[in-house]
Amino acid sequence: MSGKLSLGVHSLWFSPLAIAFGTLMLGPVREARAESPPKPSTSHRPAEIVAEVDRAIDQKLAEKRLPASPQADDAEFLRRVTIDLIGRVPTAGEASAFLDAKSSDKRARLIDDLLARPEYGRNFGILWHNRVIPLSTENSRELNPKLFLWFVEGFNRNRPWSQTVSELLLAEGDVKKTPTLGFYLSGANSVERYVQADRVAGSVSQLFLGVNLRCAQCHNHPFAKWKQTEFWGVAAFFGRVGYTQKNKEKILAESPKIVNKDSQPVATARPDATILIPGKNKAIKARFLEGEEPKLDPNQSFRAPFVKWLTAPTNERFAAAAVNRLWAHFLGRGLVNPVDDMHDDNPSTHPAVMKMLTREFAVSGYDQKHLIRCICNSKTYQRGSRPLSANQFDRTFYSHMPLRLLPPEVLWDSLAMVMDGRMIDTKDMLKSVGDPGRFFWVTSFTSQEAGEDRTRYTHGVPQVLKMLNSMLMHANSPTVRKILQEKLAWEKGVEWIYLSALARRPTAEEINVWKKYRDEVKNPETTYRDMLWALLNSGEFVFNH
Amino acid sequence: MPFLIRHPQSTSLDPFSRRDLLKLSAAGFLGGAAAPWFTTLAAHAADSKATVEPAKRKTCIMLWLAGGPSQLDTFDMKPGTRNAGEFKPISTNVAGIQICELMPKLAKQADKLALLRSMSTGEADHFRGSYFMQTGYRSIAGTSHPHLGSIAAAELGQPDFELPNFFWMGTPSAAGVGFLGAKHAPFKINNVRDEAAQNIEDVRPSHGFPAFDRKAGILDQLEARFLEQYHGAKTLADHRATYHQAARMMRSNKLSALDLNKEPKIVRETYGNTPFGKSCLLARRLVEVGVPFVGVSLGDFDTHNDNWGRLKPLLPLVDHCMAALLQDLEVRGLLDSTLVICMGEFGRDPKINGTGPKAGREHYARAWTTVLAGGGIKTGQVIGKTSKGGEEVTERPISAKDFMATLCRILGIDDTKKNITPAGRPIRIVDAGAKPVAELF
């Protein structure tokens, strides 16, 4: 994968010494190239894709006679895209800078800036780590530090998605040292001492193919076309992955030797690439989903051909699943909903958009940042969230952006920033997610049931009590301290609180309402503290809009 | 006010919240000075009396013996067989009924118990079994069925009740919040302590009530405005409703139910100072003020190994606390209106696995026992029969959904009622084809 040697005019390049030296020189150059994947000439500029997406969405709206809400103003857009890309609300400084910036392309620039921040990788690292590692019955999630950091690095370096998935699924080696083994080690895929091929099949299908095959594990799927044979056909590819010892270290490997004794409780693949459906005595041959039964060499990896098929440009499901998830992340709802239920009886609401973005993603080399630009620069994404009477019942056609509850991690990271002055430590990513207070808060606010659907309000009384009365919400906030220390005038003080909490300036009416409050309370400091408390407890803060 | 047809997928106006909005608007809250509306609402709630006394509506206490308690060593003994095990049966105060010798106190109150010995449920995995027994449905991907407690909260809970309608103490149950949502989610207390403020974290305002009311008032003003901009969107309305609920709870005098220190010392001593004993006492106090459902979990009954060794301290604990609870409920005239359930996710294999001190029993869902008491049911009886060695049900098998339908009937919940999941699917409270156990009524 060496880049072209730029032919320096120097004749030195052609001496053996120089070649050796040149090889050394190639090192850093090659790395720099790896940071932005090659752009095949067939991928488009985001603006072109954006125009097409918007056209298709608008056309559907017209068909359904749904008026679109006005576009989000700068404050709403800034807050929304900051939360969606870097996982926290904007600081007061970021807000005033953006609101006052004059350039006509400031929104596009903001998107680019946010994509370049290390917090971007952290945000998506958290997201994907949480998709791979399940919640315990106690609603908590144990961090796998190596896996998390690996994801973070991958997103920040914009590693092609196909490569990320390949590395994850083909992982092997020392369990303690190999970050990508986090996938197999996850409780979702291994149980005690065994990798469970059926669980892996369920995970792979859900996460990377956008299909929920799990129902078909025991019987044909009740609502979709998936058959039990199809489920086990996928499981067979992963039926020779397991744990062994090497030099006293626990390693994960794929090998015919992993295949098993009858005493093992898991289904394993035989050398002929068949797997026995437990309790049914039926042997199913490894088969690509909706595809062929490949000829598999019993002395070679079974999962490698599967991964090759999975990430091949001909497998549209792979790109479509990724596109759908990313779309749902930004728009609150997948083009196919639920996001892991993509099949013929559950078609996309906007097939043209789906097709366009799927093709673009594949053709760009599965470049996530590029796909994000294609989504976030669109009018559709930048539509306001306040509904019109005529479109208030629409939840399908993007006439307005739905309200989305802040995820627990985003809630904490934002509150810690505003109430405690704690910025996300990008030099120590593990520390930035390791705070015990953060762990308990996130555990408390996590809703198993809603999963990733942020359009449902999932907080109960215990969570609200924390927002109302916890120590965090009554901390001596640096936001307030700054106003007092710098002796800011009243209106400037109110503005600072609003910018810090809501990333916008207060209206004249709001300033007036708070002035009356201040006159009742007779104490400016208390007023500021109460103001901050109230704004952070308001729907305007707790929802992404 | 126009009747709004609610499409499950829409953000249609929740009629309740719009009414709320209009009320506040009429009272001038939407433009006037920050009025202490929280005080007003709370005072109103305290003044309004429930139209039915809490004791007359049914409530439920579920004693969850986590791990799958062995029926052959508790309530369905098989003396003289190969499967009998170490413990011996003793007679009870009901002729013909015998239970384990380690439960002498319950033996003296067997007339209060109904032993359902013919449970046959088929799910012998901890998570799947727990889920099945606590929701009445098998766990499937894509749906989160509500716990019986959430159903009880939704069906039996009073709308303006200041406490949560569903409490769960001890290790969490397998069924989570379920699709009925946060409003009916279990309020969890991991370790029962003596004071209300310790049992409910952050229930006290940091700087006292006048200060809280003042800032809560202006918060509500801001919220009303924001909600207006969104045409009363459901998620926003839910958010606001939860805040109202939380505020009501903070000021509720019913909070004292969570204050074990308020219970006379002699009663506390009767239940005992163990976590399980305290939880049982708290459960009584909660149903007494009208909480429809309280779950108390005790573990660990998953006795694959050392079955008898591990049951030796556990069974006397269950015996002591459950006997105290039943007696206490009776003395207070609450027994008829309180259904007490004692069960786990399945039973254990009659055939003993292994020999010597490490012998144990594996999971078994083919034939096992649950125990019911109170709730106005016919007690002092055994329902169903198992074979001589306990391996099979020989009479009157009870499935998980039969069991759930029975519980609903006892509690006065219509098990045919359909709830709508977030995806728009109607799901009956209990699966169709269920037959409640008629012998209990």
CATH number for position B172: 3.40.720.10
Q: Name residues 16-55 of chain B within 8 A of A (Cβ).
A: 33-34
CB B249 within 8 A of CB B203: yes
Single-letter amino acid, residue B306: D
Pairing of strands B338-343, B293-298: unpaired
Domain count, chain B: 1
- Classified as helix, coil or strand, A446 is coil
What's the CA gap between B187 and B203, in Å, rounded? 13
| Partner A contacted by B253 (CB < 8 A) | no
d(Cα B10, Cα A541) in Å, to the nearest integer? 23
Cβ atoms of residues A159 and A165 within 8 Å: no
**Helix, strand, or coil here: B422?**
coil
The DSSP code for B373 is E
Q: Which two tokens stand for residue A187?
A: 């409780």
Question: Are the C-beta atoms of B95 and B351 separated by less than 8 Å?
Answer: no
CA atoms of A221 and B1, how far apart (whole Å): 44
Q: Identify which of A138, A456, A461 has the shortest CB distance to residue B242.
A: A461
The 3-state secondary structure of A494-516 reads: HHHHHHHHHCCCCCHHHHHHHHH
Q: Hey, are the CB atoms on A540 and B230 less than 8 Å from each other?
A: no
* Closest CA of chain B from A67, distance in Å: 16
Q: Does any domain span residue B90?
A: yes
Write down the pLDDT at residue B225. 93
| Residue B371: strand pairing partners | B115, B342
Q: Is residue B217 part of a domain?
A: no
pLDDT for A71? 98
Rounded to the nearest 5 degrees, what angle is found at the Cα of A112, between the Cα atoms of A208 and A38? 60
φ, ψ at B381 (rounded to 5°)? -140, 160
How far apart CA B125 and CA A218 sit, in angstroms, is 15
Q: What is the per-residue pLDDT for A216?
A: 79
Distance (Å, rounded) from C-alpha A50 to C-alpha A370? 11
Q: Which of B144, B233, B242 minimises the CB distance to A464?
A: B242
Domain-embedded: residue B151? yes
Q: How far apart (Å, rounded) are the C-alpha atoms in residues B350 and B391?
A: 6
Q: What is the DSSP letter of B420?
A: E
d(CA B72, CA B17): 53
* Pairwise CB contact (< 8 Å): A538 & B222: yes
Distance from CA of B33 to the nearest CA of A (A): 7
Q: Which backbone phi and psi does B351 adopt, to 5 degrees?
A: -75, 125
Q: Which residues of A touch B34 (CB under 8 A)?
A: 513, 516-517, 520
ipTM for the predicted complex: 0.87
How far apart are the C-alpha atoms of A525 and B178, rounded to whole Å?
43
B43 located within any domain: no
Tokens of A379: 């009018």
> Does a structural domain hold residue B420?
yes
* Token pair 């017209």 in the structure block, residue: A62
pLDDT at A14: 41
Alpha helices in A64-117 (DSSP H): 74-86, 92-100, 106-116
* pLDDT confidence tier of residue B6, bands split at 50, 70 and 90: very low
Q: Residue B216: its chain A contacts at CB < 8 A?
A: 468
Q: Do A338 and B142 touch (CB under 8 A)?
A: yes
Task: Decide: B306 and B352 in contact? Cβ < 8 Å.
Answer: no
CB atoms within 10 A of CB A389: 8
Distance from CA of A173 to the nearest CA of B (A): 31
Residue numbers in A near B228 (CB within 8 A): none
Distance, in Å, from the CA atom of B416 to the CA atom of B430, rounded to the nearest integer, reads 6
> How far does the CA of residue B422 sit from the closest CA of chain A (Å)?
9
Helix, strand counts (H, E) of chain A:
24, 9
Looking at the domain assignment, is residue B55 inside a domain? yes
Kindly report which listed range (A115-119, B13-17, B201-205, B335-339) carries the lowest average pLDDT score.
B13-17
**A88 in Cβ contact with A417 (< 8 Å):** yes
A393 neighbourhood in chain B, CB within 8 Å: 7, 10-12
Q: Give the burial class of A259: count Cβ atoms within 10 A of its Cβ; 0-12 exposed, 13-18 middle, 19 or more buried.
A: middle
| CA distances from residue A152 to A121, A370, A428 in whole angstroms, order as listed | 4, 17, 12
Nearest to A534 among B179, B207, B215 (CB): B215
Contact state of B239 with A459 under an 8 Å Cβ cutoff: yes
How many degrees, rounded to 5, is the angle at CA B286 between CA B283 and CA B287? 90
B390 Rama sector, left if φ>0, alpha if ψ -120 to 50, beta otherwise: left
In this structure, the number of other CB atoms found within 10 A of the CB of residue A77 comes to 23
- Domain membership flag for residue B119: yes
Tens-place pLDDT, residues B167-204: 999 877 766 667 777 778 888 898 899 999 899 989 99
B222 with A535: Cβ contact below 8 A: yes
Q: What is the mean pLDDT of each run of 10 residues along chain A (545 residues)?
A: 38 42 38 44 85 97 97 98 98 98 97 98 98 81 96 98 98 95 92 85 95 78 78 94 87 77 65 84 91 93 96 95 98 93 90 96 96 98 97 95 97 97 95 95 84 87 94 96 97 98 97 96 96 98 97
CA-nearest residue to B180 within chain A is A449
| H-type alpha helices, A133-192 | 145-156, 161-169, 182-185
* Residue A124, pLDDT score: 98
Q: Is the peptide bond before A351 cis (omega within 30 degrees of 0)?
A: no
H runs (alpha helix) in A332-403: 351-363, 368-376
* Beta-carbon separation of B182 and A459 below 8 A: yes
Residue ranges making up the domain that contains B75: 50-194+259-440
Residue B58 lies in a domain: yes
Q: Do A395 and B10 touch (CB under 8 A)?
A: yes
